[in-house]
Amino acid sequence: MTDPADITLPHHLLPIDGRFGCGPSKVRPEQVLNLAKANAHLLGTSHRQPPVKQLVGSVRDGLKSLFGLPKDWEIVLGNGGSTVFWDVATFGLIRERSEHYVFGEFSSKFAEAAAAAPHLGDPVVIKSEPGTHPAIGSSDDHVDVVALTHNETSTGVMMHLRRPESDALVVVDATSGAGGLPWLPDEVDVYYFAPQKCFASDGGLWLAACSPKALERIREIGHSDRWRPASLDLLIALDNSVANQTYNTPALSTLVLLDEQLKWMNEHGGLDWCVDRCRQSAQHLYSWAEASSYASAFVTDPMQRSTVVGTIDLEGVQANDVNAALRANGIVDTDSYRKLGRNQLRIGMFPAVEPNDVLQLTKCIDHVVEALS
């Protein structure tokens, strides 16, 4: 059999950029140029002084305008990424009991964090098979947080966000959806994410858009006698964020990359433009799979098929071989989510990715499969 690493893709088929990972994901070269420029006045300077505070303020304003948030919402941020935000939420958002829509690895993790917290009651878990999501219904009367996931990155399932019939706070993991999928502030109370997916930045930060109802909850728990580690205290994070600071030192380069990406998104037409770009990429990917004899979309319901993370099952050819051949040609991170255990490719189609590069990628996959057979 042909060694996959020996396959050379013809130059005219190659995408301009070969990064299709689901996080960390493609960083645009212009962002990195801006990072070099920031070395003169920002990098290596105090995060308590005006230049860095202005940067944090610009990120917060950029997100508010991208999402079209009402004036009384706040962008809160802190160190640690979305995984740490699950712990932040168990300490600072859930009063007694949460309900979780679980349909993959990431949505299950927040449920596990809530289940493990000694100060909370057992969470309610509503689960569906990988490749689907549970229908949003009415909640249990005794829950005060409902946890949804905008895009389940492990399976490539997206969810249309809708407030369940409930008084509970609607808390959404939007780590891979934020900036690439549409949503309405009326339907959500906390919309949290990290910058290494649609925002083409580096990991390590969490950011959360919070409604007035969420801010009220943060203050309520923040002034209660519940013990909270200071680094996971959402009220401390809120107080710092409104002053355009973080509780402890953030990675300045991550903020510079994020700010640059936000400016790019807002200048080109905001969230609608980003959503449309991702849809074009997804259209290329899924229509290719539909026409292919060996590839098919893993998510069967087209309404749930993600336009930011595409999962494609392969038949008659090993995804590992395809990935090895692509990698040998500079096309990287098309691997499936390991724990899902399928013969599958997974493609990040975040706003920074050129839709035409996704089209080129499908041609490269066809070429590799042909060469392997």
Ligand X SMILES: *Cc1c(COP(=O)(O)O)cnc(C)c1O
Give the containing element (helix H, strand E) for 99.
strand 98-102
The residue among 288 and 337 lying less far from ligand X, judged by its C-beta, is: 337
The residue among 98 and 329 lying less far from ligand X, judged by its C-beta, is: 98
Q: Are strands 145-149 and 151-152 parallel, antiparallel or unpaired?
A: unpaired
Choice from 31, 139, 149, 244 touching ligand X (CB under 6 A): 149
3-class DSSP assignment, residue 207: strand
Per the CB < 8 A criterion, the answer to whether 147 and 93 are in contact is no
Single out the segment in contact with ligand X by CB under 6 A; choices: 70-78, 172-180, 250-258, 321-329. 172-180
* Residue 193 C-beta: closest distance to ligand X, Å: 8
Question: Any contact of residue 296 with ligand X (CB under 6 A)?
Answer: no
Q: Helix 252-267 vs helix 270-291: angle between axes, to the nearest 10 degrees?
A: 90
Question: Any contact of residue 176 with ligand X (CB under 6 A)?
Answer: yes
* Residue 65 C-beta: closest distance to ligand X, Å: 23
* Residue 201 C-beta: closest distance to ligand X, Å: 11
* Residue 39 C-beta: closest distance to ligand X, Å: 25
The residue among 153 and 261 lying less far from ligand X, judged by its C-beta, is: 153
* Residue 173 C-beta: closest distance to ligand X, Å: 5
* Residue 35 C-beta: closest distance to ligand X, Å: 20
Token representation of residue 99: 């309900």
CA angle at residue 43 from 37 to 45, to 5 degrees?
A: 135
* Residue 27 C-beta: closest distance to ligand X, Å: 15
Cα–Cα distance, 297 to 315 (Å, whole number): 11
Torsions phi, psi of 260, nearest 5?
-65, -40
Cα–Cα distance, 167 to 12 (Å, whole number): 55
Using CB under 6 A as the binding rule, the residues of this chain from 65 to 104 that contact ligand X are: 81-83
* Residue 83 C-beta: closest distance to ligand X, Å: 3
The residue among 202 and 357 lying less far from ligand X, judged by its C-beta, is: 202
Size of the residue set binding ligand X (CB under 6 A): 12
Cα–Cα distance, 114 to 110 (Å, whole number): 6
Instruction: List the helix and strand counts (H, then E) for the chain.
Output: 10, 12
Single out the segment in contact with ligand X by CB under 6 A; choices: 41-49, 91-99, 168-176, 342-350. 168-176
* Nearest by Cα to 347 from 319, 314, 309: 309
Nearest residue to ligand X on Cβ basis? 81
End-to-end CA distance of the chain: 8
Using CB under 6 A as the binding rule, the residues of this chain from 21 to 40 that contact ligand X are: 23
Question: Any contact of residue 194 with ligand X (CB under 6 A)?
Answer: yes
Tell me the CA distances in angstroms from 103 to 205, 295, 347, one per residue in order: 24, 23, 19
- Sign for the CA dihedral angle at 10, 333, 127, 203 comes to negative
Question: Any contact of residue 166 with ligand X (CB under 6 A)?
Answer: no
Using CB under 6 A as the binding rule, the residues of this chain from 312 to 371 that contact ligand X are: none
Single out the segment in contact with ligand X by CB under 6 A; choices: 1-9, 64-72, 171-179, 339-347. 171-179
Per the CB < 8 A criterion, the answer to whether 181 and 164 are in contact is no
* Residue 136 C-beta: closest distance to ligand X, Å: 17
Cα–Cα distance, 194 to 288 (Å, whole number): 30
3-class DSSP assignment, residue 281: helix
Choice from 25, 153, 241, 329 touching ligand X (CB under 6 A): 153
The residue among 175 and 334 lying less far from ligand X, judged by its C-beta, is: 175
Rg (CA), the chain: 21
The residue among 149 and 360 lying less far from ligand X, judged by its C-beta, is: 149
Token representation of residue 182: 């549409």
Using CB under 6 A as the binding rule, the residues of this chain from 199 to 228 that contact ligand X are: 203
Torsions phi, psi of 173, nearest 5?
-75, 105
Question: Any contact of residue 246 with ligand X (CB under 6 A)?
Answer: no
* Residue 80 C-beta: closest distance to ligand X, Å: 7
What residues make contact with ligand X under the rule CB under 6 A?
23, 81-83, 106, 149, 153, 173, 175-176, 194, 203
